Chains A and B, each alone.
Chain A
Amino acid sequence: QVQLQQSGPGLMKPSQTLSLTCAISGDSVSTNSAAWNWIRQSPSRGLEWLGRTFYRSRWYNDYAVSVRGRIAINPDTSKNQFSLQLNSVTPEDTAVYYCARGPCSGTSCYSMDVWGKGTTVTVSS
Chain B
Amino acid sequence: QSVLTQPPSASGTPGQRVTISCSGSSSNIGINYLYWYRQLPGTAPKLLIHRNNQRPSGVPDRFSGSKSGTSGSLAISGLRSEDEADYYCVAWDDSLNGWEFGGGTKLTVL
Give A contacts to B, CB under 8 Å. Answer: 37, 39, 46-49, 51, 62-65, 98, 100, 102, 109-113, 115-118
Contact = CB atoms under 8 A, between A and B. Distances in A.
B55 interface: no
A9 B2 CA distance: 28
Contacts, number: 53
Contacts of B35: 110-111
Given A46-B104, A110-B50, A115 B98 contact: no
A113 B47 CA distance: 6
The secondary-structure label for the interface of chain A is: strand
Given A110-B33, A111-B50, A46 B98 contact: no
Interface of B: 2, 33, 35, 43-47, 50-51, 56, 88, 90, 92, 96-101, 103-104
B56 to A, nearest CB: 7
B50 A46 contact: no
Contacts of A39: 99
Nearest to B33: A110
Contacts of B98: 49, 51, 62-65
Contact of B45 (A47, A64, A65): A47
A110 B51 contact: yes
28 contacts: A39-B99, A46-B2, A46-B101, A46-B103, A46-B104, A47-B88, A47-B101, A49-B99, A49-B100, A51-B98, A63-B98, A65-B98, A102-B99, A110-B33, A110-B51, A111-B35, A111-B90, A111-B92, A111-B99, A112-B47, A112-B99, A113-B47, A113-B56, A115-B45, A115-B46, A116-B44, A117-B43, A117-B44
